Amino acid sequence: MIANKKTKTMAPISTSSLPDVVFMLLFFFMITTTIREVTRKVEFKLPEASEAAKLERKDLAAHIYVGTPIRAEQSKYGTDARIQLNDSFKTIDDIRDFIAAERESLSEADKQFMTVCIKADQNVRMGIITDIKQELRRCSALKIMYSARKPESEPSI
């Protein structure tokens, strides 16, 4: 009789540890991700490079995005590769102001370590990249990084 009663009233699963689990997840994501600073208006697929190295100081990076405009913007800007700085499409001539503003936001000691991170689609032509590079040289922002992703699997040699 007693045994029968036990099987009937099952103890409910305790959910008291659920908040802890979720908080754990939350902290994991907070640590491993970075807040997105800009809304992307260009689409790009980064080229692959097996020797890509991590940037040590993420906070010192200024990003230049190059790629085709996203679908919602294509009616306005076409499908040609364009440059995005901060939140809007810009031209080569705006890079100077952009670099100056980025420099200004860094502390005096960090200014020399600023890295310009070029995130370009793998299908863009080098012409636009060369123009960016020339403009960066003119602004003497010489530390650059070509953003690339590591290939998923090592190609067999």
Shortest distance, position 1 Cβ to other proteins, whole Å: 34
Question: What's the rounded Cα separation, in Å, for the pair 44 and 130?
Answer: 18
Which residue is it, tokens 């992703």?
149
Element (H, E) at 23: helix 18-32
Shortest distance, position 5 Cβ to other proteins, whole Å: 28
Dig out the tokens for 147 from the structure: 């953003």
Which residue is it, tokens 């699997």?
153
Question: Which is nearer to other proteins, 26 or 101 (by Cβ)?
Answer: 26
Binding site for other proteins (CB under 8 A): 15-16, 18-19, 22-23, 25-26, 29-30, 32-36, 47-55, 58, 61, 92, 115, 117, 120-131, 133-134, 136-138, 140, 142-150
Shortest distance, position 78 Cβ to other proteins, whole Å: 14
48, β-bridge pairs? 149
Question: Which is nearer to other proteins, 49 or 101 (by Cβ)?
Answer: 49
Question: What's the rounded Cα separation, in Å, for the pair 151 and 94?
Answer: 33
Question: Which is nearer to other proteins, 15 or 75 (by Cβ)?
Answer: 15
- What contacts 42, CB < 8 A, 6 or more positions away? 65, 66, 67, 68, 69, 70, 81, 82, 84, 121
Shortest distance, position 126 Cβ to other proteins, whole Å: 4
Question: Which is nearer to other proteins, 4 or 16 (by Cβ)?
Answer: 16
Question: Which is nearer to other proteins, 73 or 117 (by Cβ)?
Answer: 117
Please report, as a single letter, which amino acid is at residue 4: N
Shortest distance, position 144 Cβ to other proteins, whole Å: 5
